[in-house]
Chains A and B, each alone.
Chain A
């Protein structure tokens, strides 16, 4: 699980990529994602993957980025095997499918590793998503560390009463998680009720479109980046559709 999480949990930084407007970062990731998804070429996909690595180096997230590669690489290999042996596609098509999955996950990872939850929320507001949907996201992310602490406390309490979570067969270990999950769910439900009251007490729901304390503002460098990424994306799509690369 840590391998997957490390590829998507925000890393605080002050790189060129971090300083960009989050909408430009989203545009970059979406461009890489779409071009990768539409590409039919091993060469183009390999270039895109290399580009993702270069971006991760510029964003100073290469270490964290690489941690998830074992998992993503394994998943891509499974896609290759399914394409070749179950779907009876050619080996080249299998490689393309595997590389494509690898590339789109990398593109997504770049966005999430460089975007704070606060920025993500602002991007959602900019897209005019419903406030309830945005708050579900905000609270889910905000309460991850809180629920983690709750889980640790419950585990300690159950261990101090003699429960051994790591003991027994796989089935037994799964059963061992019940004394953790039941109180954890109970705590989470209680918290959610308290939260609902506290939100109502601060006028939540008064307006369909609340105002915002922060506003996203593009700088000259953001417009320049947008132009570069748009040109790069157009080139990528041209290659994907009109050049017959291997």
Chain B
């Protein structure tokens, strides 16, 4: 079958029958994964620790199989390129990857130098590097940090610098692996807003591994639940979060969902954000004068 026929229209990621076992490990981390992602989607990947979420994302940006040896079978096609036969440096221009700990992805002595790091590696001319670095800093609102050293930044600022370093390379896909795990709730919320703004303004495809679904469910087009290397559920956030079985696979019910289930709203009202829940309560009060069973 030709590559074109395997990839659907508007599909930016096509994974077919992907299985992977790390070198020296007895168990498969990914088991026959099939997944199709359309350009411009925001996808949240959820599941228990060790379920294979990060491994799946590493298979999309090429760290697997290029940097991790192991048993690899199946196919991952990203923007028309078969990952296993494409150089990491070429994939880096397609897929931007934000790791859990921003400290470990800032290499240079100043913010602007670090944002330009990937572009320097690609041999982009100096003037264009300058333009793209300035654009990335403005987009992330960190222009005032340009000459700061990494150790002078807060964790939230470091995460923004890491994102700026990635988007300066103008990737079509942005992958974030537990980006809020080291952030306080306020900063984490700010980061999610940054991701949504980037998606809206650049039309970038986003994949986020995140345990705090309260934060990301409302910006997601789909939630994918992975367990023991298999995709268990994949669907719109409401469908996945109001499915009573997903909690069995390490998906923590957001507070709003728990609260909504306690309220007598019926099955047609499935809020996934505090704004939606508030709106529904207001509508109900307006309609019936009080919140009562449907």
Q: Which of B99, B120, B121 is in CB contact (< 8 Å) with A198?
A: B99
Within 8 Å by CB of A213, from B89, B97, B126, lies B126
* B88 pairs with A200, CB closer than 8 A: yes
Chain B interface extent, by class: 35 or more
B14 at the interface (CB under 8 A from A): no
Q: Contact mask A173-215 → B, CB, 8 Å, 1/0?
A: 0000000000000000001001111111111111101111111
Question: Are the CB atoms of A135 and B107 closer together than 8 Å?
Answer: yes
Which of B97, B109, B123, B151 is close to A201, meaning CB atoms less than 8 Å apart? B97
Please name all residues of chain B whose beta carbon is closer than 8 Å to the beta carbon of A135 when the two chains form the complex: 107
The answer to whether A211 and B129 touch across the interface, beta carbons within 8 angstroms, is yes
Inter-subunit contact B121/A204 (CB<8 Å): yes
User: What 0/1 pattern do residues 225 to 248 of B give for CB contact below 8 A with A?
Assistant: 000000000000000000000000
Alpha-carbon distance between A205 and B91 when the two chains are bound, in angstroms: 13
Decide: A145 and B151 in contact? CB cutoff 8 A: yes
The one of B104, B122, B150 in contact with A195, judged by C-beta atoms closer than 8 angstroms, is B104
Query: Given the complex of chains A and B, what is the CA–CA distance between A104 and B105 in angstroms?
Result: 37
> Which of B20-28, B60-68, B256-264 forms part of the interface with chain A?
B60-68
Q: Are A213 and B151 in contact (CB under 8 A)?
A: no
* CB proximity of A131 to chain B, nearest CB, Å: 9
Residues 61-89 of B, flagged 1 when their CB comes within 8 A of A and 0 if not, give 10100110000000000000000000111
Which residue of chain A has its CB nearest to the CB of B92? Answer: A203
Is A222 part of the binding interface, using a Cβ–Cβ cutoff of 8 Å?
no
Residue of B nearest to A208 (CB): B123
Main secondary structure of the interface of A (DSSP, over half): helix
A210 to B101, CA, bound (A): 26
Q: With A211-B126, A213-B113 given, is the CB distance from A203 to B101 under 8 Å?
A: no
Interface residue tally on A, bucketed by range: 20 to 34
Cβ-neighbour of B109 out of A117, A191, A200 (below 8 A): A117
Q: A205 to B121, Cβ gap below 8 A?
A: yes
From known contacts A204-B121, A205-B89, infer whether A121 and B109 are also in contact, taking CB-CB under 8 Å: yes
Verify A207–B122 contact, CB threshold 8 A.
yes
Interface centre among A121, A194, A202 (most CB of B within 10 A): A202
Asked if B107 and A199 make an inter-chain contact with CB atoms under 8 angstroms apart, the answer reads: yes
**A195 CA / B99 CA spacing, docked (Å):** 10
Q: Do A213 and B120 touch (CB < 8 A)?
A: yes
Q: Whole-angstrom distance between the alpha carbons of A77 and B129 in the complex?
A: 52
5 contacts between A and B (CB under 8 A): A118-B109, A121-B109, A210-B121, A213-B126, A213-B129
Tell me the A residues contacting B by CB distance below 8 Å. Answer: 116-118, 121, 135, 138-139, 141-142, 145-146, 191, 194-207, 209-215
